[in-house]
Amino acid sequence: MNKLPVPERMALSADRRTLGLDYPNGTHFDLSAEYLRTHAPSADVRGHGGKGGQLVHGKRDVTIVAVEPVGHYAVRIVFSDGHRNGLFDRRALLDLALNHDEKWSAYLAKLETAGLGRDLQPVDSEG
């Protein structure tokens, strides 16, 4: 089994909207808070056993409050909407980084199909 690379540096942007990952081979990835939040490895996003998760939407303005190390294998990302479930291990981070374009396009297509958007929808008070 190949050992997965570990980011040698993780850094939040000043506006807390991007997590930068630097790998030992010189590769750098910037992952948006929105992307990380909507693809979080948690039961509410993925569902139990990978089935039945919810389509997270309205997270365009979410930011990263904290990145907390969990042992030597993962980080917990705390988001401004209060979400803190799910651990991003090195496999999950690398997968999200390497497959960003494909995953992001698929996510946007799912939003469109569901009639949902990246922004929070205003509450209809006329109900």
- Residue 51: the pLDDT is 61
- Residue 123: the pLDDT is 47
Query: Measuring CA to CA, which residue among 76, 107, 81, 98 is closest to residue 31?
Result: 98
Please check whether the domain covering 9-113 is classified as CATH 3.90.226.10: no
- Of the chain, the end-to-end C-alpha distance in Å amounts to 56
The pLDDT > 90 percentage for the chain reads 72
Task: Reduce the DSSP state of residue 73 to 3 states and report it.
Answer: coil
- Residue 17: the pLDDT is 98
Burial class (CB in 10 A: 0-12, 13-18, 19+), 69: exposed
Burial class (CB in 10 A: 0-12, 13-18, 19+), 75: buried
Between helix 90-98 and helix 100-114 the angle, nearest 10°, is 80
Phi, then psi, of 71 in degrees rounded to 5:
60, -145
Burial class (CB in 10 A: 0-12, 13-18, 19+), 21: buried
- pLDDT, tens digit (0-9, with 9 covering 90-100), for 41-100: 887 776 655 566 789 999 999 999 999 999 888 999 999 999 998 899 999 999 999 999
- Residue 31: the pLDDT is 98
Structural domain boundaries in the chain: 9-113
